[in-house]
C-alpha cells in the first residue's frame, strides 16, 4: 500500500479519488509523467506515485498498457473497432475489435460521429468495415458508451460471400457459407447465376438485393475449385479473411520496371563471405550472416558479427504503388500449399533475394561482441554484397556435426566454425538475460504433388535455427538502439507483461497440480522459466507450456516503446525481414534517414500519428494472417483424418470448458472436441478453479493435461472441426461434483442416447481458442 512520508503534506499530493478521476477524464495519453506534471509531483514523491498506481492496478481500478494507464475497462484514446450496425437514428455503431469480456465486463459501444473535416478521396465508413477511431466517453467517467471519429478505414466490408455450391433439381442452387462464425444463412442462387459451378465447388458470390421474405439471392462471381481438393483449403482462409492475393496491374508494372541497384553511395562488401541459412524450401533469402574473431587486443575472446539484410527500400519507395500495396498486406502469409507475398516476386524472389555469387544491395549491421557475449558497439552500413553460399539449416548443422557435403566442405573452417563459435559466445549473454522459453513443438504439414496431405511431423530444433534467431535478435536490438540514439521515430516490436487477471488464472491452474506461483519480486520471464523447468519431463509438460503461452500478452507493433517482455529486452524493433514484413521496411527507411545513408529513407514529413496508424494496421494484418494460417492447418488435418472415422488416437486434454473438453492429438497435433453431454453415464460439472470436469454421482474427474484415448466420430473438413468420443476413464477423487445432495446416477445409456440425438441435429462443434503470439 502506498504511504506518504511524514514530510509529505496531505494537501500536496492528490488523493486516491483524485488520481482515478484524473485518469478517467483526461483525453489523450496518461502516464506517470503526465500525472506528475499535473499535480507538480517531484523528487521522492514520485516513488509514492509509482506505488499508488501499482496498488490501483492490483485492485483492478486502473489498467496499464506499457507506460500508459487508464481506468479499468475504459478504452484508450485510439482504438481499432468493427462497425456492426446502424441504430434507429441511422448512426453507425462500432465495438472494439479486441475486448476481453471476462476481464473487463460487457463490451462498450461507440457511436461514430461525422468527420469534422473530411479528407478528399477518403472512403465513407459503413457497416462491416474495420476502422481506426479516436474516441472519448460520451459522459465523464462512462466506460460503456463512447463517441468516436474515423481516422482511417483499415478494411472494407467483404464484398462477397464464400461458400459451397449445392445444385437444385430445377436449376440454380444454394450457397452454404463456410464461415460458421458469421452465422450466415444459406443463399439462393437463381438459374443462370451459377457460372457453371458444380456440386461441391468452392465459390465466391455477391449478394443480390431481395424482398422481405425467403432466402437472400446471390450470384456466383468466381469458381475456386472443388472443396474435395486440399488445394482449395487455403483459398477458404484467403477469402474468409479478405487477404489480398492478387497484385493490381500498376504494382506488377512498377515491380517489372525496377532496375538493379547500383554501387552509388554503397560500400563494396562483395568479398565479405556472408552466407544465407534458411529452410530447404525457401524461395527468398533476405538475411545473410558472417562472424570472425575480433583481432582488437582490448576485446580478446570477442567476435565481430555481421548481419546483412536485403535492401528493399532501394526498390520500394514511400508512396509508390508497391508501397501502398505492401502496407495494405502488412506481411506475407504462409500456407502449406502457397505463399501470399507482401511484395511481387520480381522484388522478393529476384532483386532482393540474396542469391549466392550474385551482387545484391543490402543494409548491414556490424556488431562487436565482448567475450561475455554482450554487444559492445554496432554500426550500420549500406553495402553491395555477394553471398558466398546458400545453405539450409540441416545442411549447415550436418557440416558442423562432422559430415560436410561438397558445398559446405570448402567453407567449414573459414565461415561455418567461426559462426558457431560466435553463437557460443552470445549464448552466454542470452542465458544470463533468460528470455521466456516455451517448449511447444511446431508441426509442419507436407503435401503431396496433388495437394493432399502426405504427413504431419515436428521438425527437429537445431543449433543452426538458434544461431540465426539469436543473430537476428541482436540486429533488431541494434536497429532500435541506433534509431533511439538518433531521436528518430520508429515502429517498435513490443510485448507487454501478462495482466494481473491472467496471472491469477495461471496461479489457479498451477495450484490444481500442486505448484505455487511465486508472488514476490518483479514479474520477469525467468519466473515462468522456473515453472516450466519444474514440469520438464513430467506428464504436465505440454499443457503447462500451453497454459503459460495463453497467459502471455500478444506481441504487436507500436510507435510507443514499452519493451519486449518475452525476450526480456528494453527496446526491440523488427529489422531483419523487410521482404515479408512492412514494419521492417519502415525501420530500414528510418535508419537510412537517421544515419544519412541515402535519399530513399523515411519521408521527413511523416508524423507520429501516421506511425501509430500504420502500427495498428499492420498489427491487425498480422493477426489476420495468424488466424488464416491456423484455420488452414485445422482444415487440412480434418481432410487428412476424414477417412479415419472410428479410429482411436492418443491425446491430451488441452482445454476444459462448460461445453466439454478440447483434445490435442499426439500424432498430428490436431485439436478436437468432446461435448460434455457425451462423457460417460454421469452428469459432469465444470470446475473453473481446477480446470476440470467432475461427475455429480461418481466424482469421476477429467482435468486439464490428462492423457486420454479418444475415438474420432466426426470430421468436418470445411469447418476444420473434429469431434471425438472419450474412451478413457477419468480420475476418481472420491468427491462428487457439487450436484444436489443425494444425486442419483442417471439411467445407463440415457446420456449417450440423448447426446446421439443431439448430434444428429447439429454440425460438429467448433470453438475457437485464442492463442497469443510470442514474438
- Assign 3-class secondary structure to 463-509: HHHHHHHHHHHHHHHHHHHHHHHCCCCCCEEEECCCCHHHHHHHHHH
d(CA 697, CA 700): 8
Residue 506 backbone dihedrals phi, psi, to 5 degrees: -65, -40
Out of 57-71, 534-548, 676-690, 760-774, least confident range: 760-774
d(CA 496, CA 509): 21
Average pLDDT, integer, range 702-706: 85
Average pLDDT, integer, range 492-505: 87
Given a cut of 70, is residue 750 above it in pLDDT? Answer: no
DSSP-derived 3-state class of residue 325: helix
Residue 233's pLDDT band (cuts 50, 70, 90)? confident
Question: What's residue 317's pLDDT?
Answer: 96
Kindly give the pairing relationship between strand 375-386 and strand 267-269: parallel
Query: Highest mean pLDDT range out of 11-25, 344-358, 437-451?
Result: 344-358
Nearest to 305 by CA among 317, 293, 319: 293
Question: What's residue 669's pLDDT?
Answer: 85
pLDDT in tens, 369-419: 999 999 999 999 999 999 999 999 999 999 999 999 999 999 999 999 999
User: Which has more pLDDT, 18 or 588?
Assistant: 588
Given a cut of 60, is residue 530 above it in pLDDT? Answer: yes
Question: What's residue 758's pLDDT?
Answer: 45
Contacts of 213 (CB under 8 A, 6+ apart): none
Question: What's residue 771's pLDDT?
Answer: 36
Given a cut of 60, is residue 226 above it in pLDDT? Answer: yes
Average pLDDT, integer, range 58-82: 70
Question: What's residue 341's pLDDT?
Answer: 96
Out of 163-167, 311-315, 423-427, least confident range: 163-167
How does DSSP assign 141-194, residue by residue? T-SSEEEEEEEEEEEPPPSSEEEEEEE-TTS-EEEEES-TTTTPPPEEE-TT-S
Average pLDDT, integer, range 281-288: 89
Q: Is the Cβ–Cβ distance between 697 and 733 less than 8 Å?
A: no
pLDDT in tens, 443-498: 888 888 877 788 888 888 899 999 999 999 999 999 999 999 999 999 999 999 88
C-alpha cell at 375: 554487444
DSSP-derived 3-state class of residue 61: coil
User: Which has more pLDDT, 520 or 211?
Assistant: 520
User: Which has more pLDDT, 648 or 142?
Assistant: 648
Residue 533's pLDDT band (cuts 50, 70, 90)? very high
d(CA 724, CA 738): 26
Question: What's residue 769's pLDDT?
Answer: 34
Mean pLDDT of the chain: 84
Q: How far apart are the first and last CA of the chain?
A: 34
d(CA 89, CA 645): 53
d(CA 274, CA 289): 5
Average pLDDT, integer, range 492-512: 86
Given a cut of 80, is residue 148 above it in pLDDT? Answer: yes
pTM of the model: 0.78
d(CA 57, CA 60): 5
Which residue bears the cell 541497384? 261
Q: Is the Cβ–Cβ distance between 386 and 359 less than 8 Å?
A: yes
Average pLDDT, integer, range 151-161: 69
Given a cut of 80, is residue 181 above it in pLDDT? Answer: no
Nearest to 499 by CA among 774, 49, 100, 775: 100
Question: What's residue 512's pLDDT?
Answer: 76
d(CA 688, CA 505): 9
Out of 40-44, 589-593, 682-686, least confident range: 40-44
pLDDT over 90, % of the chain: 43
DSSP-derived 3-state class of residue 461: coil
d(CA 623, CA 555): 10
Taking the CB of residue 212, how many other CB atoms lie within 10 A of it? 4
Question: What's residue 286's pLDDT?
Answer: 94
Question: What's residue 499's pLDDT?
Answer: 81
Question: What's residue 414's pLDDT?
Answer: 97
Question: What's residue 6's pLDDT?
Answer: 41
C-alpha cell at 767: 470453438
Residue 774's pLDDT band (cuts 50, 70, 90)? very low
Given a cut of 60, is residue 511 above it in pLDDT? Answer: yes
Given a cut of 60, is residue 749 above it in pLDDT? Answer: no
Out of 41-55, 235-249, 544-558, 727-741, least confident range: 727-741
User: Which has more pLDDT, 510 or 268?
Assistant: 268
d(CA 532, CA 543): 10
Residue 10's pLDDT band (cuts 50, 70, 90)? very low
pLDDT over 70, % of the chain: 85
Average pLDDT, integer, range 252-266: 95
In what order do the strands lie in the sheet containing 375-386? 267-269, 375-386, 359-369, 303-310, 287-293, 275-278, 389-392
Q: Which residues of 428-449 are buried (b: 16+ CB within 10 A; e: fewer)?
A: ebbeeeebbebeeeeeebebee
Question: What's residue 29's pLDDT?
Answer: 65
Q: Is the Cβ–Cβ distance between 684 and 694 less than 8 Å?
A: yes
Given a cut of 60, is residue 508 above it in pLDDT? Answer: yes
pLDDT in tens, 110-138: 999 887 666 666 677 877 788 888 888 88
Identify the sign of the CA torsion 291, 292, 296, 302. Answer: positive
C-alpha cell at 305: 558479427
**On the CB side of 424, how many CA atoms lie within 13 Å of its CA?**
9
d(CA 688, CA 691): 5
Given a cut of 70, is residue 156 above it in pLDDT? Answer: no
Residue 141's pLDDT band (cuts 50, 70, 90)? low
Question: What's residue 761's pLDDT?
Answer: 42
DSSP-derived 3-state class of residue 338: strand
Question: What's residue 357's pLDDT?
Answer: 96
d(CA 60, CA 102): 13
pLDDT in tens, 631-664: 898 888 988 898 899 999 999 888 888 889 999 8
Query: Highest mean pLDDT range out of 153-162, 363-372, 619-628?
Result: 363-372
Given a cut of 90, is residue 337 above it in pLDDT? Answer: no
User: Which has more pLDDT, 536 or 181?
Assistant: 536
Amino acid at each position: 500500500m502506498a504511504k506518504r512520508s511524514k514530510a509529505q503534506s496531505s494537501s500536496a499530493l492528490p488523493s486516491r479519488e483524485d488520481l482515478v478521476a484524473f485518469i478517467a477524464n483526461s483525453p489523450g495519453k496518461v502516464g506517470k509523467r503526465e500525472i506528475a506534471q499535473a499535480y507538480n509531483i517531484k523528487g521522492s514523491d514520485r516513488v509514492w506515485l509509482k506505488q499508488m498506481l501499482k496498488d490501483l492496478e492490483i485492485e483492478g481500478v486502473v489498467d496499464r498498457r506499457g507506460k500508459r494507464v487508464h481506468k479499468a475497462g475504459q478504452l484508450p484514446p485510439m482504438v481499432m473497432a468493427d462497425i456492426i450496425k446502424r441504430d434507429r437514428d441511422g448512426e453507425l455503431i462500432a465495438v472494439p475489435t479486441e475486448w476481453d469480456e471476462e476481464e473487463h465486463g460487457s463490451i462498450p459501444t461507440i457511436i461514430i460521429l461525422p468527420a469534422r473535416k473530411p479528407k478528399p478521396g477518403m472512403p465513407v465508413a459503413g457497416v462491416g468495415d474495420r476502422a481506426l477511431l479516436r474516441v472519448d466517453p460520451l459522459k465523464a467517467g462512462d466506460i460503456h458508451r463512447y463517441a468516436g471519429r474515423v481516422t482511417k478505414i483499415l478494411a472494407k466490408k467483404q464484398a462477397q460471400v464464400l461458400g459451397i455450391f449445392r445444385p437444385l433439381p430445377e436449376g440454380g442452387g444454394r450457397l452454404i457459407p463456410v464461415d460458421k462464425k458469421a452465422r450466415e444463412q444459406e443463399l439462393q442462387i437463381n438459374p443462370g447465376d451459377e457460372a457453371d459451378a458444380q456440386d461441391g465447388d468452392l465459390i465466391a458470390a455477391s449478394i443480390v438485393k431481395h424482398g422481405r421474405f425467403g432466402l437472400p439471392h446471390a450470384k456466383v462471381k468466381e469458381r475456386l475449385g472443388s472443396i474435395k481438393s486440399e488445394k482449395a483449403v487455403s483459398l477458404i482462409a484467403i477469402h474468409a479473411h479478405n487477404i489480398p492475393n492478387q497484385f493490381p496491374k500498376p504494382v506488377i508494372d512498377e515491380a517489372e520496371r525496377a532496375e538493379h541497384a547500383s554501387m552509388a553511395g554503397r560500400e563494396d562488401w562483395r568479398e565479405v563471405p556472408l552466407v544465407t541459412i534458411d529452410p530447404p524450401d525457401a524461395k527468398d533469402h533476405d538475411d545473410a550472416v558472417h562472424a570472425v574473431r575480433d583481432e582488437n587486443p582490448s576485446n580478446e575472446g570477442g567476435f565481430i558479427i555481421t548481419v546483412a539484410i536485403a535492401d528493399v527500400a532501394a526498390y520500394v519507395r514511400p508512396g509508390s504503388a508497391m508501397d501502398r500495396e505492401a502496407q495494405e498486406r502488412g506481411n506475407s502469409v504462409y500456407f502449406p500449399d502457397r505463399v501470399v507475398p507482401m511484395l511481387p516476386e520480381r522484388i522478393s524472389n529476384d532483386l532482393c533475394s540474396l542469391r549466392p555469387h550474385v551482387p545484391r544491395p543490402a543494409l548491414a549491421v556490424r556488431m562487436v561482441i565482448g567475450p561475455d557475449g554482450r554487444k559492445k558497439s554496432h554500426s550500420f552500413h549500406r553495402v553491395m554484397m555477394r553471398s558466398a553460399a546458400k545453405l539450409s539449416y540441416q545442411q549447415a548443422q550436418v557440416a558442423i556435426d562432422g559430415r560436410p557435403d561438397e558445398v559446405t566442405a570448402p567453407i567449414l573452417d573459414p565461415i561455418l566454425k567461426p559462426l558457431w563459435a560466435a553463437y557460443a559466445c552470445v549464448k552466454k549473454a542470452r542465458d544470463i538475460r533468460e528470455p521466456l522459453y516455451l517448449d511447444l513443438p511446431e508441426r509442419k504439414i507436407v503435401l503431396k504433388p496433388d495437394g493432399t496431405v502426405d504427413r504431419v511431423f515436428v521438425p527437429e530444433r537445431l543449433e543452426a535455427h538458434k544461431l540465426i534467431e539469436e543473430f537476428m535478435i541482436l540486429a533488431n536490438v541494434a536497429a532500435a538502439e541506433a534509431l533511439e540514439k538518433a531521436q528518430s521515430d520508429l515502429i517498435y516490436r513490443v510485448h507487454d507483461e501478462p495482466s494481473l487477471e491472467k496471472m491469477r488464472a495461471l496461479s489457479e491452474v498451477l495450484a490444481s497440480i500442486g505448484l505455487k506461483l511465486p508472488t514476490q519480486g518483479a514479474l520477469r520471464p525467468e519466473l515462468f522459466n522456473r515453472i516450466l523447468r519444474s514440469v520438464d519431463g513430467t506428464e504436465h509438460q505440454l499443457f503447462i507450456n500451453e497454459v503459460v503461452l495463453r497467459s502471455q500478452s500478444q506481441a504487436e507493433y507500436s510507435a510507443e516503446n514499452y519493451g519486449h517482455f518475452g525476450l526480456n529486452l528494453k527496446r526491440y524493433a523488427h529489422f531483419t525481414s523487410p521482404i515479408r514484413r512492412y514494419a521492417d521496411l519502415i525501420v530500414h527507411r528510418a535508419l537510412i534517414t537517421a544515419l544519412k545513408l541515402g535519399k530513399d529513407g523515411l519521408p521527413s514529413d511523416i508524423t507520429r500519428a501516421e506511425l501509430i496508424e500504420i502500427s495498428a494496421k499492420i498489427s491487425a494484418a498480422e493477426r489476420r494472417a495468424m488466424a488464416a494460417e491456423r484455420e488452414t492447418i485445422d482444415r487440412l488435418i480434418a481432410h487428412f483424418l476424414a477417412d479415419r472415422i472410428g479410429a482411436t488416437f492418443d491425446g491430451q486434454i488441452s482445454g476444459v470448458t462448460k461445453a466439454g473438453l478440447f483434445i490435442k492429438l499426439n500424432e498430428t497435433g490436431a485439436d478436437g472436441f468432446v461435448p460434455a453431454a457425451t462423457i460417460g453415464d454421469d452428469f459432469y460439472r465444470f470446475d473453473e478453479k481446477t480446470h476440470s470436469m467432475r461427475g455429480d454421482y461418481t466424482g469421476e474427474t477429467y482435468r486439464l493435461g490428462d492423457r486420454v484415448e479418444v475415438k474420432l466420430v466426426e470430421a468436418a473438413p470445411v469447418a476444420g472441426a473434429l469431434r471425438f468420443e472419450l474412451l478413457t476413464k477419468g480420475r476418481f477423487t472420491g468427491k462428487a461434483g457439487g450436484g444436489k445432495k443425494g444425486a442419483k446416477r442417471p439411467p445407463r445409456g440415457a446420456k449417450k442416447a440423448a447426446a446421439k440425438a443431439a448430434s444428429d441435429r447439429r454440425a460438429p462443434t467448433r470453438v475457437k481458442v485464442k492463442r497469443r503470439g510470442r514474438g
